[in-house]
Amino acid sequence: MHRTDRFAVKQISRTIGLLLGLSVIGLVPTSRPQALQSAAQGLRLYVLDGGTIITNHPEGFGLTREQVKNTNFSCAVYLIVHPRGTLLFDTGLGDRYFGRPFNESPLADRPDPPSTAGFILVTKTLKSQLDEIGYPPSKINYLAFSHPHDDHIGNANDFVGATLLVHRGDYELMFGPNVQINPAYAALKNSKTKMIEGDYDVFGDGSVMLLFTPGHTPGHQSLYINLPKTRPVVLSGDLYHYPEDLKLDSMPDREKAPGVTEASRKKLQAFVAKNGAQLWIGHDINFFSRQKHAPQYYE
Ligand SMILES: [Zn+2]
C-alpha cells in the first residue's frame, strides 16, 4: 500500500471511529424512522418507586443464581403526562406496606412463606411521590396495568376515578365469573372501563401506545412512549423479568410450552428495532437505580 493511501485509510478509520464513538454517546442521531414525527411536544415520563421485592429465586424464571447479577426486583410505576391527559402505568406493591419490615411482608400476604418467597419493601408511598409532582389520583385520567399481578396493582383502588384501559383476557383474570377478586383492585369494578383489542393509541396521536404482548397473562401489555428529547421508550412489563432474559431468552416454565410469550417477545423486539426505541425492564433493579426518578422526568 502506498504511504499516502495508508495515511488516507488511517484518517478514514479515525473518522469512522469518532462517529461510532459519538453515536454511542448519543451525539449523532441514529435513524429513527417515523418515530419522531409523532412525538408529542410537552410529553413527559416520570419514573416512580413502587417498592422492592427482596427475592433470591431466579429458578422460578428459568435462570440460575449464577446467571443473575441481582435477583431482587424493583417495581417501577410510570406516569405519562401528555397535553391531552395523564396515564398511570402500573401502581406498585402498595402504600399499605410502607414502614413495615420486609421480613414480615411476604408477597401476596402468604401466611407461611416458603424459602423461595419474595418479600415486600416499600420505603416511599406512591401517593407522596404523586403529590410531590402535582399529580394526585384525582388528576390521573387513564390507568393501565402491564398485568394485574400483586406487584403491579398494589395501589389500584386509589385510581377509581381514572378510565381503566384493559384487554379482555386480563379483565377476566381480575373480575371474571369464578374469580376471587383481589381486594387491592376490587374498587375498579365500578370504574369507567375501556376494553381494548390489539395495540391501542392512548391519546390519538401515536405518541403513547399500549402494545398487546400476551403470555405472562392473557392480556399482558407493554407501553410505547415517543418522547421528543429522549429516544422512544418501550416499557415491557413482565414480558422480561431480568435483563439476563434478553440474552438467554429465559422465562417462567409455565410460559415456555404455549409459545405466546415467545411470540410477544418477537413482536416487541421488531417494534423496538423499527422505532429505534430503548427497552426498559421495570423489574431490573440495577437499571432502576441508575434512572431519573420523580420529581425529575424524561421528556
Ligand atoms: Zn411483576
Q: Does residue 12 form part of some domain?
A: no
Q: Does residue 13 form part of some domain?
A: no
What is the bridge-based pairing of β-strands 193-196 and 221-225?
unpaired
pLDDT at 21: 40
pLDDT at 144: 98
Q: Does residue 20 form part of some domain?
A: no
Q: Name 110's Cβ contacts closer than 8 Å, sequence gap at least 6.
A: 117
3-state secondary structure of 195: strand
Per-residue pLDDT reduced to its tens digit, 95-141: 999 999 999 999 988 888 998 999 999 999 999 999 999 999 999 99
Apex CA 236: angle with CA 235 and CA 242, to 5°? 115
Q: Does residue 21 form part of some domain?
A: no
92 alpha carbon – ligand 1 mean position (Å): 9
Q: Does residue 105 form part of some domain?
A: yes
Apex CA 115: angle with CA 112 and CA 117, to 5°? 70
**Residue 199 belongs to what domain range?**
32-290
Least confident of 4-18, 145-159, 227-241, 255-269: 4-18
What's the pTM value of the predicted model, to 2 decimals?
A: 0.87
Task: Report the amino acid identity of residue 20.
Answer: L
150 alpha carbon – ligand 1 mean position (Å): 8
297 alpha carbon – ligand 1 mean position (Å): 23
Per-residue pLDDT reduced to its tens digit, 63-89: 999 999 999 999 999 999 999 999 999
204 alpha carbon – ligand 1 mean position (Å): 28
60 alpha carbon – ligand 1 mean position (Å): 12
Within 10 angstroms of residue 157's Cβ, the number of other Cβ atoms is: 17
Q: Does residue 42 form part of some domain?
A: yes
CATH of the domain at 51: 3.60.15.10
Q: Does residue 213 form part of some domain?
A: yes
How many residues are given for the chain? 299
24 alpha carbon – ligand 1 mean position (Å): 31
If one counts the domains in the chain, the total is 1
298 alpha carbon – ligand 1 mean position (Å): 23
Whole-angstrom Cα distance, residue 12 to residue 83? 46
Among 63, 89, 61, residue whose Cα is nearest residue 261: 61
Q: Does residue 163 form part of some domain?
A: yes
3-state secondary structure of 258: coil
Whether the CB-CB separation of 243 and 52 falls below 8 Å is answered with no
Per-residue pLDDT reduced to its tens digit, 180-214: 999 999 999 999 999 999 999 999 999 999 999 99
247 alpha carbon – ligand 1 mean position (Å): 19
Task: Report the amino acid identity of residue 221.
Answer: Q
Q: Is 230 left (phi over 0), alpha (psi -120 to 50) or beta?
A: beta
Q: Provide the greatest CA pair distance for the chain.
A: 80
62 alpha carbon – ligand 1 mean position (Å): 15
Hey, what's the cell of 247? Answer: 440474552
What letter would DSSP give residue 235?
Answer: E
Whole-angstrom Cα distance, residue 77 to residue 223? 12
